[in-house]
């Protein structure tokens, strides 16, 4: 192999005005060529790695599909369902309900290629069926069945174009019926309730009740009053919005506190600390049964505006020269 290498004049090896010997010159050319090859190899490898990472990121982004509540494809920020792009070994698509791009609740499966028509099933961590919903034209149509997390039947009801229609029956874990409701196009036409021992319930207003933080103080006010703005983040001017979710259990305690959207690890930690301090709530009741229910709760950490006389403390409560905003939304799981 003949190597031809062109070098600029400044690379010509000279010593006191004399050219090196041919042997030394050839050796220098070889060293420069070798160095050039090594440099090119490094540049090529870096580009190859960058390309591989780019392809991997694209594949990861395309690994999921996103749909709204009526199974129209949409961006992740507007999505209600996240679906795997390929079927699993059982020829099923994996489905998750999502909020703000984050998964909430347990996973389910869907079998048909047309997501607007088919049967969606959700399971607990042990693989037991919790919910079965039949879809047509993107909306629930037909029989819906739900089970208690312990495996017993919870309810059987019918839906038409996404609305309850016809008889709906609800059951305690012991098998006793707790409620029977007649719906027409989503509206209640008649309702009856029973206690767990089979006795009819006389005051039906007590059969359904939202979970509630006790006392006069609202939960958001309790959180804003209890938050302590981390000093080092305050000094750095770091603010942010932490979105949490938690479950109000049947005994009123709070459990399964999770960060859905992070602002900063230390802001997340402070928000979780305060939520965990909450006293017990009045638990949720649905169809004359005490049930667990999940809430989504955003907390915004704010620092005072530097303009004189201006306050951004919208909750009226602050700690450690910072403030918190919050509001709560209920996401029923039954």
Give per-residue pLDDT as tens, 52-77: 555 444 444 456 889 888 888 898 88
Confidence (pLDDT) at 156: 95
Q: Determine if residue 268 is left, alpha or beta; phi over 0 gives left, psi from -120 to 50 gives alpha, anything else beta.
A: alpha
Closest CA relative to residue 249, chosen from 211, 222, 205: 211
Confidence (pLDDT) at 45: 61
Give per-residue pLDDT as tens, 98-126: 877 777 766 788 877 777 888 888 877 67
The pLDDT of residue 23 is above 80: no
Determine the topology of domain 219-331 in CATH: TolA/TonB C-terminal domain (3.30.2420)
List Cβ<8 Å contacts ≥24 apart for 147-154. 148/173, 149/124, 154/334
pTM score > 0.85 for this model?
no
Confidence (pLDDT) at 97: 82
Instruction: Over range 256-271, report the average pLDDT.
Output: 94
How many alpha carbons lie under 13 Å from residue 250 in its C-beta half-sphere? 8
| C-alpha span between 51 and 61 (Å, rounded) | 15
DSSP 139: E
Mean pLDDT of all residues belonging to the chain: 78
Give per-residue pLDDT as tens, 140-149: 899 999 998 8
């Amino acid at each position: 192999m003949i190597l031809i290498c062109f070098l600029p004049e400044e690379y010509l090896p000279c010593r006191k005005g004399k050219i090196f010997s041919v042997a030394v010159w050839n050796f220098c050319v070889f060293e420069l060529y070798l160095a050039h090859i090594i440099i090119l190899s490094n540049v090529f490898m870096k580009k190859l790695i960058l390309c591989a990472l780019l392809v991997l990121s694209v594949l990861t982004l395309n690994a999921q599909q996103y749909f709204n509540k009526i199974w129209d494809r949409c961006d992740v920020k507007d999505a209600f369902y996240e679906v795997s792009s390929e079927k699993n070994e059982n020829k099923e698509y994996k489905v998750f309900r999502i909020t703000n791009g984050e998964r909430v609740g347990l996973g389910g499966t869907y079998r048909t290629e047309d997501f607007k028509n088919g049967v969606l099933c959700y399971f607990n961590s042990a693989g037991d069926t919790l919910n079965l919903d039949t879809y047509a034209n993107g909306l629930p149509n037909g029989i819906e069945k739900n089970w208690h997390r312990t495996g017993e039947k919870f309810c059987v009801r019918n839906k038409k174009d996404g609305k309850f229609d016809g008889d709906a029956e609800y059951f305690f874990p012991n098998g006793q019926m707790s409620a029977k409701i007649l719906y027409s196009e989503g509206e209640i036409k008649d309702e009856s309730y029973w206690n767990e021992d089979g006795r009819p319930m006389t005051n039906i207003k007590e059969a359904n009740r939202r979970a509630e933080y006790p006392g006069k103080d609202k939960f958001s006010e309790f959180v804003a009053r209890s938050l302590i703005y981390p000093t080092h983040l305050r000094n750095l001017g770091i603010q942010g919005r932490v979105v949490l979710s938690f479950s109000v259990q049947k005994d009123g305690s709070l459990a399964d506190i999770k960060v859905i959207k992070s602002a900063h690890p230390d802001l997340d930690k402070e928000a979780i600390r305060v939520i965990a301090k909450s006293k017990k709530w009045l638990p949720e009741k649905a169809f004359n049964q005490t049930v667990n229910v999940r809430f989504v709760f955003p907390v915004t950490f704010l620092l005072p505006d530097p303009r004189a006389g201006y306050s951004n403390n919208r909750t009226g409560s602050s700690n450690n020269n910072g403030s918190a905003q919050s509001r709560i939304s209920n996401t029923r799981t039954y």
